[in-house]
Structure formats: structure tokens, C-alpha cells
Structure 1
Amino acid sequence: MLFSLGAFGFLLVVLALLALPLRNVPTDARAAQDELTRAVEALKASDADQGWKHVAKARGHVDDVTDTTDGVGARIWSVMPVVGSGVRDARHLASAMDDLTTSMETAEEVYPQVSGEDSELLDRGSVNLEVLDTALTSMERISDRMRSAEEHLHEVKGTNALVGDTTADARDTALAKVEPVVKGLDRLDPLLAQMPDMLGGDGKRTYVIAMMNPAEMKYSGGSMLTFSHVDLDDGKLVRGRVRDSLSARPLFKQLHWRPVKGNTLAADGARRITHASIAPSWPVGGEETLRAWDIITRMDSDGLVVLDVQALAQMVAVTGPLEVKNVGTVTSDNLVELTAGDYGNFAQDEQRRRKRLNKALIPAFMDRIFSGVDFVGTMRALNESAKGRHLAFYLRDDDAAAAMSPLGFDGALSDTDHDYVGVFTQNMVGSKADYFQQKTLRSDVRLREDGSARVTLEAEVHNFNPPQAPGDDNAYTNPTLDMTVASFLPKGAELVDAVAVDPSGEESVEADPEKHFGRGVVAHQVVLDSDEKVTLRLTYDVPQAAVVDGDRMRYRLDVDPHPTVRPENIQVTVHWPKGFSASSLPTGWTDAKGTSRWKLATLPGITSWTLTARR
């Protein structure tokens, strides 16, 4: 008996000695996490050198943690009752941290190849496909490590009686950062797989480039008034000439082409290529545009890249000013005004200057994309532009198009079956008054217990044009805004009432009986002088605005912006059914007395909100 007690006592002493190093695990783990967070923040600020220093510090802390959690003491403690589950949780946390740090170290290895002065990925407007293949392999390793980290974190139970709360909090904190990254990689991986082919790795690819003028809007965005094309063959880029209405009039002639099936907005008869993009979705407008382009130029195009001057301004903010002959220095601050809103200079000489600048923008766009200057920052700028629908890539290859879609680069409208807001305007004449339009949307949603809703939407467009001297409707400086305002309804929505209030009074508006790809369209044409406004007020029932699951209700709303110069403002008020109260709201939402609200604010680009309430 005494021997047994002595042996047990000795075992306790040994276990205590083996456990001593575990005391430092929480401190080292927190330090590693802090360093990784600082590394990410530094990289977002384009301070790569500082970011990698934080990664190196994180590695030191992670190694201390893993040396302990993989040691003999931790392994023995992991099978002991009571404390074992906590040690196993700590080992999973350590493994996850090691995976995260390794993924950052892999990024450090590949970073010089894709960004900075020593980058070999981009050279003289071409892409080195061998370097690209190396970078893609590194991205695969990063993806594998990030997914491994997520799996380890999900293995953390957080139920240990002694340290369960601590490990659960560490797990939840880490998952909040890791899961969005993994979801982002899930969206990015298909595009990475398609990139070599898109860049001509399996044969020449031809892409049309169109610059949109946001002072003359279509439902999709600004009117396409300047075009070019590029050929990519084995990564080597060859640019075509830039064409506009002055230098290539045949491109803008009226012609017939077969409209995209289901495009109820396509006009009958002959059309100009500038009217090909009347549909707000670029998978529709892009195909319409390429059908016109291919007939006129006798090309066989693989895709269309459309961007407006706001998108280029965002890129210039990253890559530096442009020097344009006979124009001067063009920066991110003055580019939009020089090209679309310089109403103070409209004599013939100034018009010619503007045309020269417009023709210089497409080559500048291609040069900046393939320059290699702050590649990461450039890609981030492209992503922000796509989110605001100032930039879109339409690709005819189904696999390539499917890869673009999850990232929001395809310019498609939301395909949601739930609540939806999309209000677009169409300039009906040649004036450039859209530069000054401001849209404000107010949606009031009254949910029912079955998940359906009665929605009242007010869409106001204000013409902030300064009162220049009146001129012809097609004159550049005429302040009159002659347009159609169109609201695209949620799928399955039944219109109850629609009125338009404008300077001429109030009138009823009918919905288009032909649905546009499953959505009803309510449109109103109006002429607004300087400082006048129009309000389209709609009431409609949405059959599945929310999903009901037992005592839980999830309301879902997607909003597609119109890429105007002034971003639109939006306010959303959601009234929950009696007995329900909000349990989870997205950032920026508030709740009081059964009503959740997004206060009037600028729409943050393409937006999808999910709000949850419980009975």
C-alpha cells in the first residue's frame, strides 16, 4: 500500500514537472497571434518589409508553443482524465497557428516574384507564365495550410472544466479571422486555375476593352464611347488601336445583330454598339457588345473588359499619376473631372484635349495592370472597382466566366430569390448631365410570419447640375437630365402600387409585363432641369423575403449599385413580425422595439445583408 502511494506520488511529481512548460503556452500563443495580426495590417498598408518582420517574430512564438505542445509532457497530459481535453485543445490551437504562420511565410517567398521592382511576373506588358505557374503552386500551398488551420480550429472542443472557456475564446477569435480567408480562397481558387488559359497559355485570346463615360449613363453603367482590343498569346500582349466616334465612325454605325435570348430590354431593329449595354447585367450587355463588335471588326473575341474613369482613378491612386501629351499630369484626384465633369471647358480646343485624354486611358489601363508596380495594391483597386460595378470582365468561355462570378468581377446582377433592390437610370439623349445625378433609396420592409413581406421602396434621383447656359439637348453642358428611372423588382414580386412624383406632378406607373430574366421592371421617363428631382414610389409583395426555420427567421436583402459618379445613398427599415426580435445583425445595423434599421448612408458597393430574428 505504501509502495503504491509512493509510486502515485512520484507520478504526480513527474506529471507536475512535465506540465510546467504548458504554463507559457497561452502567453506565447497570444503573442504569436498579435504578431500575425500586425503582419496582415502592414501588408494591407503596402508595407511588406514590416509585415515580414512581424511574421518572423510570430514564427519564434509559434515554435515555442509547438515545441511545448508536441513535447513528451503534453503528450502524456493529453491522455489524462480531466485535464487531457484541455491539452488536446491547446495542441490543435498550436497546429492551427503553425499552419497560419507557414502560409504567411509561403506568401513571403512568392511576394517578390509577383510584386515590386524585382518582380519577374510582369515584364514589358507581358506575363511570364513560368513565374505565374510558380506563384500558383505557392498559392495552392497557402490554400492547403489555411484549410488545415481551419480544420484544427474546428477540432477545438472548448469544454474542459479548467481551461474550456479560454480555449473556446481563442478558437472563436481565430475562426473569425480564418473562415473569411478560407471562403475567399474558395472563391479565388477557380480563377487561379483558369489564369494560364485566359492569358493565352493554350492559344491566343482576344479581349475587347471599353471605356465607359459616367456622365452619360446606361442601365449597366456609363456609355461605351472608346474601344480597343488586346491579344494575349503565351502571356505576350499585343495592343490594338484605340477607336472612338471621331477616329472610327464605322464602329458606331447602326447595324443588326441577334439579341441575347431573354434580353427584353434590347430594342428592335438596327442599333449602335453604344446601346448594346442597356441591360444592367454585364453577362447580357457584354455578349450584346461583342456580337456587335465581331460583326463590325470581323474579329472572334473571347471577352470584354469594361471600366469607367472612377475605376482607372482608383488604379492611378495606387500606381501613380499619368503624363498625357498636351494634357499634362493626370492624377486620381483630377482624372474623373477632366474626362467626365469638366463643364467649365467646352470650347473646341478643350473638347479635342478631352478626346486625346480619353484615347490615352485604355492604353494607360493596360500598362498599369501589366506594369508590376504594386501588383497587390493594383489587384485590390480592381476588386474595389468591381464591387462598385465600375469594372467588369465578361468572358465567353463558360469555365472562365464561372471562375469570375464568385469574385464579383463578372458584373452580373444578384440572382437572389429573396428581397432585392436595384434602381438604374438610362440617359435618353446625348447630354452629359449624369455626372451630377444623386440617387437616394429608402426601403421599408414589413415582414410576415411566413417570410413574405410588403415592401415600400422610394427611389429619388436629384439633378445637382449647376445651371449652365441652356443649349441643345445633346450639348455637353446642357444641365437638363432626360432619363428613364427603372426599378428591377425581386423575383416573384407582385406590384401593388407604383407612382412617380416629378416636377410635372404625380402619375401612376405600370410594370413592364415582360419580365427581365425573372424580374419585373417598373420604369418612368422624366426630364429634370437643374436642381429638380423625381421620386419613384413602389409598393410590392415579396413572397420569400425571409426564410423561416422553426422559431428563427432570416431576412435576406441584396442590393446592386448603379456606378454613378456620386455613390447612391440607401436606408433600409425592417419591421419584424410580432413576437420576433433581432438576434444577429450585420455590422452597421441597429435595432429597437422590433425594428432593425440601416440608417441613411452611402451604399458600400455590391451588398448582401442577412438579418436573423428569433421568436
Structure 2
Amino acid sequence: MQIKKHEYAAINVVKSALTYERFSEPEALMADVQRETESARSIAHNGWWNALASMPGLGADIGALQHVTDILNDLALQTLPEYARAFRQVDVKSMFSEGALNAQPLVDVTPALKSANMSLSQRLREYRSVSCPRLGVLASAFRAGEKALESADRYASMLTDTVLPNVQQWLGYDGKQTYAVLAMTPAEMRGSGGLVGAVGTVAVDHGRIHIGEFQNNSDFSEKKATNVNKDEYALYQLDGPLHLRYDVRDVTNAPSTQRVAQLFENIWKQSEMGKNTDLSGVILADPVVVQSLVKASGDVVLTDGKVLTGSNTAEYLMNTVYLERPSTETNQVFGEVAKICVSRLTSHLNTGTLKTLLKDLNMLTRYRHLAAYSFNPALEKVLAEFGLTATVPNKTTEPEIGIYTTEKNPSKMDWYVKRSTTIQQINCESNAAAYHVEYTISNTVTWDEVDTLPPYISSYTKKYPQRKGMSMETIVFYPPAGGRLSNFSVEGGGSVPTTGALEWRQIYHTFVELQPEQTVTYSFDVNVSKDAVQKLEVDETPSGNETNDIRYAYLCPVG
């Protein structure tokens, strides 16, 4: 259907801006939207469609479609140019000076942006006044357009009502902002990412970003979080074989970024770093983030001559460094590379550099390589809206299961652990969708390879020689919000998950010992909320790969 094709094309153009792919091409983007909406409007009002609009029954659906194409075309021709005129007033070059960012030129156009917002909100009200077509293919196109307009209206309002009134404060013009950076390594998994190997600071002061030294986790070893709750204690401290201490290494075990921030802030206040400095927020970053920084800023040459690039950095920091360098040096390498990259970026801050970074931002946040939490409520609202604050499944309309893993064998064996999820929808006629899920976890290291690994990776000790090369995982399964999990079974070893509680939610948890070359598969059914409007997704502890291995064996037809 040509109308649907053009409307979806216009929506995708807008999405490309919202996902950072074309944010610096406003004029070309506007022209593309106008071309697609005008094509859709022309088709909807040709003789054949006008004739259909006069027919009983079907005519109401066609009339609704014609009305919608008029609204979207008016938005493209009248509302978008208002935004373009507002942004043309911004002197972008004046926003970047000697490594500092000054957002005042953008703040100054707030009145013009608010005027454009009123036009956008009016288009949305007009759209909502149209009755949704009954015909499936038309209804799906109608709902997609409404969702895109709602997103645009929400983001535009957030820009003028929350971001612009506060951005100068967030940039440190009203006082320095200090964030802790927790450098994680998924080579030893914790729920939100990996064990914290080093802690650094990022201070924002009058638009300039200052990177502090990264301190080894051993500098915090005597400080433990005193706000561990009873559920965390029972599952991760009381249960072995490794009893988490909840010193700085383990705060990232919580799957929600807010909870990580609460645990770390407790330790921060006990530390020398935190005695005279209030913490503004917490940033979680793993080696895939550093790899993106290297990609944006250029190759990094380490003191030993090793060259890190935009494609080999993550593997180096999660595996190669443990093969080539003493274990006493490994945690500092992350900080060394990160500091070099950020120093380069801040000293040459410009729109081109930002564009390169923003291209990876969606991937980094979607797959939990990068997360952040701010103790400033206004800023946290923005971080959460753009997916920077990771949570356990909490949206009934956007169903997902959560699968979070904790390594209970002190090692770096999780680099060799590969995970995949296969999803099959099993009902196509019920109001609430149901799925069958198979979650497979494999220890890919071979028995021959184990003998070549350093003890720091393989966890070999004379006291516990049987742990050598083994991955020992506590796995937690969260049901989708408003849904449930059922009918668990397991193949290849391990035990069937049992019910429990964590962060005021029902969960299922299990423990598995993965020997070299062993694969275990957990199978279960998922029922989602009747309010769900999209397919089931998976949120899980990140790996060394940029994305997760999720496959859909079957999904019911839509429309």
C-alpha cells in the first residue's frame, strides 16, 4: 500500500533524527519528510481513493486515512519549518570554545521553540480527534503515526520545559558537578554489567569536562555498602559458592542503575574521595564504551606499544590484557585508555565528534554497556527518557523479560561464556500474547585451552583445583511487567529455576556450574500483559559483544 509506505518513510526519517543518525542535517531531513508526506497526501486524494471514500462502511476508514495524511502534511509544511527557523538562530560555533560547551545560545531560542511546540501539540490533538480505522492494515499505519507524533511531542516538550531551563546548571555553571565512573568488566559478570575494576571521576565545571585519576578497586576494599537489603543478602551474600562482599566490586550486581547508584553512594560517603565532595550521579561503563571512544577519538598506543582501535579495544580489555600483562596492572589499563580518549574528545569538542559518539549511543544504552543515574531529579528524568538509566522490566506496553547473571567463580571466564535466546510466539488469537523462550548459555573454552590460561582468568588455585576453567553462574529471570513466567525446564545440566524476590519483584533464580565445552538450555513460557503493543524483548547482562544474540523463531502476523 503506497500511502502506508510513504507515511512510514516519513516516520522513519524522524526516527533517524531521534536516534542520532541525522541530527546534524535538519534542512535535508525536513525536505525528506515533506516529500514523503506530500506523496502520501496526493495518493490519498486521487480519484480512486475519493471514490472509495464515498462508499458505505469502508468510506469511513478511507476518510480517516485522508484526514491523517492532511494533518501530517500540514505538520511537515508548517510545523517543521518553525523548528528549522528556531535552530537557524543558534550560533553553533559559539557553543564550543577551547574544550568548553556553553549552551546559552540554545537556551536563548527557547521562546521560538515553545511556539513551534504549540503547533506540534495542535497537530497531535487533530490527529487524536480522528477515529482509528477498523481495517487492520489502515489501523496499524494510523497507530504508528500517532505513536511517532506522541514521541515527537514528548521530546519537544522535555527540551523546552526541562532541558533548556536546567542545562547550564548541569554543565557546572552554577557549581561543579561530580560523577563517579564505575569501570566494569563483563569478563566477570555482575547483573548490570561486570565486576568494578576501577573507579574514576568526571567533573563538569563551567562547561569543561575534567577527568580524574582512576583508582583500583583495592583502594575501596575496606569499604562495604551498608544498605544491602534482605533479598540481596539472601541471594548473593548468604548463597555461595562466592559470597559477595558488596564492596565497590559488587555494587553493579543490582540490575537497576538506580540501585547501583544507591549502593555506590553509600560507599562513596565512607571514602576519602567522598568526604568533601557531593556525588551528582553515577556512570557505568564497560570496555565496549571505551571501544566507541577510541573509534571517535582515534587509535590509542599504550605504554607497552600495544595499539588499540575502534574494533579490538573491547576484546583487549576483557581478555587479551589478562593474557599479556600482570594481574596487578590490568584494572589500571581501562582507566588509562578511557582518560586518553576523553581528554582528546574534550580538547577537540565539536559537532562532528559528537555525531560520531551519538551514533553508538543507542547501541551502548540498549545493551547496557553504558548507563547513568543522576541524583538531580530533573536530569534523571531526561536520562531515563533516553534509556540511559537501566531498569528491570517495568512497562506493560513494551514487554520484556530480564535475564541477569552473576559470576560466582572469581575469574575472568565470562569472556568465554556465550549466550543466546530464541523466542517463539505460541498464541495468535488471544488478547494477551504468549511466547516460548529458550535461553542457552555455553562455556566455549576447550579443555585443552584451559591449561594455557593464566590462573587469574581460569581461577585455578591449589585449594580449589576443580574450579579451573569453570563458570559458576547465578542467573535471575524477571517476568515482564504485568506478565508471568511458567513451565521451566532445563537441558544439559543445572537445576530448574525456583521463585524468589528481588527489588520488590517476583523473580526466578538458579545456579549452574558450566564446565569447559558445556552447554545448558533453560526453556520456559512467557505470558505478557494484555496492554502489550509490541513483541517480547530481552533485557540482559551485557557481554563482550556490542549486541545480544536474540532470535525470533516465529511471530504472529500483524495487520
Q: TM-score, normalised by structure 2?
A: 0.72
From 421, 436, 457, the counterpart of 2:416: 436
Match of 1:570 in 2: 550
Q: Does residue 547 in structure 1 map to residue 536 in structure 2?
A: no
Match of 1:280 in 2: 255
Aligned 1:6-45 pairs, distance under 5 A: none
Aligned 1:196-275 pairs, distance under 5 A: 196-245=168-217, 249-259=218-228, 263=232, 265=235, 267=237, 270-275=245-250
The farther-off stretch of 554-563 and 284-293 is 554-563
Following the alignment from structure 2 to structure 1, what is the Cα–Cα distance between the partners of residues 84 and 313?
38
Counterpart AA for 1:463: N
Q: Does residue 510 in structure 1 map to residue 498 in structure 2?
A: yes
Following the alignment from structure 2 to structure 1, what is the Cα–Cα distance between the partners of residues 392 and 155?
20
Following the alignment from structure 2 to structure 1, what is the Cα–Cα distance between the partners of residues 503 and 210?
38
Quote how far apart the aligned CAs of 1:292 are. Answer: 1.3
Partner of 1:120, secondary structure, is: helix
Q: Does residue 308 in structure 1 map to residue 307 in structure 2?
A: no
**CA 405–236 in structure 1, closer or farther in 2 if over 3 Å, else same:** same
Q: Is the 8 A contact 2:292 2:310 kept in 1?
A: yes
Quote how far apart the aligned CAs of 1:365 are. Answer: 3.7
Partner of 1:208, secondary structure, is: strand
Following the alignment from structure 2 to structure 1, what is the Cα–Cα distance between the partners of residues 373 and 555?
37
In structure 2, stretches of 5+ residues that fail to align are 39-62, 134-138, 239-243, 460-467
Counterpart AA for 1:213: T
Following the alignment from structure 2 to structure 1, what is the Cα–Cα distance between the partners of residues 513 and 160?
46
Following the alignment from structure 1 to structure 2, what is the Cα–Cα distance between the partners of residues 153 and 393?
35
Question: Residues 159-193 of structure 1: CA distance to partner in whole angstroms, max 9, x if unpaired?
Answer: 9xxxxxxxx99999976865553354456666524
Quote how far apart the aligned CAs of 1:406 are. Answer: 2.0
Partner of 2:278, secondary structure, is: coil
Following the alignment from structure 1 to structure 2, what is the Cα–Cα distance between the partners of residues 506 and 59?
57
Following the alignment from structure 1 to structure 2, what is the Cα–Cα distance between the partners of residues 425 and 361?
26
Q: Does residue 131 in structure 1 map to residue 105 in structure 2?
A: yes
Quote how far apart the aligned CAs of 1:516 are. Answer: 3.7
Aligned 1:387-536 pairs, distance under 5 A: 387-417=366-396, 420-444=400-424, 446=426, 456-465=436-445, 467-470=448-451, 474-476=455-457, 480-490=469-479, 497-502=487-492, 505=493, 507-512=495-500, 514-529=501-516, 531-536=517-522
Quote how far apart the aligned CAs of 1:338 are. Answer: 2.0
Following the alignment from structure 1 to structure 2, what is the Cα–Cα distance between the partners of residues 334 and 444?
34
From 324, 349, 356, the counterpart of 1:346: 324
Counterpart AA for 2:104: E
Following the alignment from structure 1 to structure 2, what is the Cα–Cα distance between the partners of residues 222 and 390?
10
Partner of 1:147, secondary structure, is: helix
From 187, 192, 198, the counterpart of 2:163: 192
Match of 2:338 in 1: 361
Partner of 1:267, secondary structure, is: helix
Q: Cα RMSD over matched residues?
A: 4.8
Match of 1:79 in 2: none
Q: Greater relative contact order (Cα 8 A, min sep 6): structure 1 or 2?
A: 2
From 339, 359, 363, the counterpart of 1:384: 363
Question: Residues 390-443 of structure 1: CA distance to partner in whole angstroms, max 9, x if unpaired?
Answer: 111111233332332222111112213586422222122332222232212234
Counterpart AA for 2:504: F
Question: Residues 505-553 of structure 1: CA distance to partner in whole angstroms, max 9, x if unpaired?
Answer: 46444333x3442122322231321x321223345x75xx2428xxxx9
Q: Is the 8 A contact 1:303 1:394 kept in 2?
A: yes
Following the alignment from structure 2 to structure 1, what is the Cα–Cα distance between the partners of residues 344 and 101?
12
Following the alignment from structure 2 to structure 1, what is the Cα–Cα distance between the partners of residues 251 and 160?
32
Match of 2:50 in 1: none
Structure with more of its chain in strand, by fraction: 1
Following the alignment from structure 1 to structure 2, what is the Cα–Cα distance between the partners of residues 274 and 380?
30
**CA 280–156 in structure 1, closer or farther in 2 if over 3 Å, else same:** closer
Following the alignment from structure 1 to structure 2, what is the Cα–Cα distance between the partners of residues 509 and 328?
44
Quote how far apart the aligned CAs of 1:481 are. Answer: 3.9
Aligned 1:35-114 pairs, distance under 5 A: 52=27, 95-103=74-82, 105-106=84-85, 109=88, 113=92
Q: Is the 8 A contact 2:476 2:510 kept in 1?
A: yes
Match of 2:539 in 1: 560
Quote how far apart the aligned CAs of 1:476 are. Answer: 2.5
Counterpart AA for 1:368: L
**CA 498–52 in structure 1, closer or farther in 2 if over 3 Å, else same:** closer
Counterpart AA for 1:501: E
Following the alignment from structure 2 to structure 1, what is the Cα–Cα distance between the partners of residues 35 and 484?
61
Following the alignment from structure 1 to structure 2, what is the Cα–Cα distance between the partners of residues 174 and 555?
15
Quote how far apart the aligned CAs of 1:273 are. Answer: 0.5
**CA 368–430 in structure 1, closer or farther in 2 if over 3 Å, else same:** farther
**CA 257–189 in structure 1, closer or farther in 2 if over 3 Å, else same:** farther
Counterpart AA for 2:177: R
Partner of 1:277, secondary structure, is: helix
Match of 1:585 in 2: none
Question: Residues 450-496 of structure 1: CA distance to partner in whole angstroms, max 9, x if unpaired?
Answer: 86777654321012235524278852266824232423232576765
**CA 215–444 in structure 1, closer or farther in 2 if over 3 Å, else same:** same
Structure number with larger C-alpha Rg: 1
Following the alignment from structure 2 to structure 1, what is the Cα–Cα distance between the partners of residues 254 and 161?
27
Question: Residues 102-127 of structure 1: CA distance to partner in whole angstroms, max 9, x if unpaired?
Answer: 145237526761xxxxx332444433
**CA 590–36 in structure 1, closer or farther in 2 if over 3 Å, else same:** closer
Identity, % of aligned pairs?
Answer: 15
**CA 213–420 in structure 1, closer or farther in 2 if over 3 Å, else same:** same
Counterpart AA for 2:477: F
Following the alignment from structure 1 to structure 2, what is the Cα–Cα distance between the partners of residues 90 and 495?
42
Following the alignment from structure 1 to structure 2, what is the Cα–Cα distance between the partners of residues 392 and 555?
24
Match of 1:8 in 2: none
Q: Is the 8 A contact 2:371 2:390 kept in 1?
A: yes
The farther-off stretch of 88-97 and 457-466 is 88-97
**CA 191–369 in structure 1, closer or farther in 2 if over 3 Å, else same:** farther
Following the alignment from structure 1 to structure 2, what is the Cα–Cα distance between the partners of residues 90 and 256?
56
Following the alignment from structure 2 to structure 1, what is the Cα–Cα distance between the partners of residues 246 and 341?
29
Following the alignment from structure 1 to structure 2, what is the Cα–Cα distance between the partners of residues 58 and 276?
46
Question: Residues 44-70 of structure 1: CA distance to partner in whole angstroms, max 9, x if unpaired?
Answer: 766957x6467589999999xxxxxxx
Q: Is the 8 A contact 1:59 1:101 kept in 2?
A: no
Partner of 1:435, secondary structure, is: helix
Following the alignment from structure 2 to structure 1, what is the Cα–Cα distance between the partners of residues 433 and 83?
46
Following the alignment from structure 1 to structure 2, what is the Cα–Cα distance between the partners of residues 351 and 180?
48
Partner of 2:94, secondary structure, is: coil
